[in-house]
Amino acid sequence: MSFSPRRRRLVRDAGIALAAACAMPQLLRAAPSPSPSTQWPNRPIRLIVVYPPGGVSDGMARVLAEPLAQSLGVPVLVENRAGAGGSIGMDALARATPDGCTLAFSAISPITLHPLVARVPYDPLRAFAPVASVMRTPVLVVGTPAFAGRGFQELIALARSQPGAVRWATSGVATIGHMVLAQVRMQSRTAITHIPYAGGGPQLNHALGGQFEVLSTNVAAQQLQYIGEGRLQALAVGAPARIEALPAVPTLAELGYERANRDSLFGIFAPARTPPAVLQRLNAQINRVLRSDTVRARLRGAYNLPVGGAIEDLAQEIAVDRRRNRELVSGDRSQFD
């Protein structure tokens, strides 16, 4: 039986349609699912601050959170997980799902210093992915009402004449303030009693009450206010140069304590195995926020130096700081107890 040209065309088109319909489920099964990095962020981001509320790091994390949320299009929720020099918060980050929706704001010391002097529940070399450097914060050494002397050299003289009588508070074991203290003790050969706190906020009230003689802490507006009022005495700063707010106060390097002359580098971190594309997008957005005139003014107004830069820049800073700290700790391990 023969078909007209029109009938043959209809049969051919029907066969093509049937073949396509049969092949469609196979094509759907073979189609790749969207990558997590292409969907990110699809829910609020949790930003763990590894220090207590009220400190300089907590305040700066909240300064970053709002513009970062606007830039990413999802809420950025700040959560304080303080304790053990930042290692409790960093452990929470290490255990989080590596999807870019849990980050941490921390100094680099829980990665580069704390594991050298104390047991931590995470692997500092493998648990984290650096995202971006945020800021450098000078360290301020202040005398409290319990210290009757004037100046840093009188503090050292008191420590030499009365071993153990000088109590020096820090934000916790293996923090940058503890490193400053340890270096001062080693170089001055003095017995100074370490008073570790769980973070930078609570210790300030105790400093004002004279519950110890000296405190090393990150520079912040509140401490500077108390110095201006005469309630605290600025003894030294850890910074590359004297800070504008305290031009008469020498750096620890000027006082002869070069190795104690440290500042704090803070950054954003993600869990290891976070997709590289997500890390790159996060880095780009954080750098964009840090270039904002408003954010830079807020950071500088709190005496912090905005940093920024590539992921590799933060990774390099971590490697250098870890190597330097390992050399210092191996010199006299007892100074870090």
* CATH homologous superfamily, domain 40-137+263-336: Bordetella uptake gene, domain 1 (3.40.190.150)
Identical topology for domains 40-137+263-336 and 138-260: yes
User: Which pLDDT does position 1 carry in this prediction?
Assistant: 47
- List the CATH code of the domain at 138-260: 3.40.190.10
Q: What is the distance, to the nearest Å, from the Cα of residue 39 to the centroid of all Cα atoms in its chain?
A: 26
Domain boundaries, the chain: 40-137+263-336, 138-260
Contact 88, 32 (CB under 8 A): no
Q: Which residue type is seen at 300?
A: R
pLDDT at 33: 45
pLDDT of residue 337: 58
Is the omega angle on the peptide bond into residue 67 within 30 degrees of 0, that is, cis?
no
Q: Which is it for the CA torsion 144, 145, 148, 151, positive or negative? A: positive
- 100-111 as b/e, with b when 16 or more CB fall inside 10 Å? bbbbbbbbbbbb
> In the prediction, which pLDDT does 17 show?
44
Q: What is the reported pLDDT for 12?
A: 52
**Which residue ranges in the chain fall short of pLDDT 70?**
1-38, 199-201, 331-337
pTM above 0.85, yes or no: no
CA 160 to chain centre: 35
- pLDDT, residue 54, reads 78
Residue ranges with strand state E in the chain? 45-49, 76-80, 102-107, 128-143, 167-170, 193-196, 214-218, 233-238, 263-271, 305-306
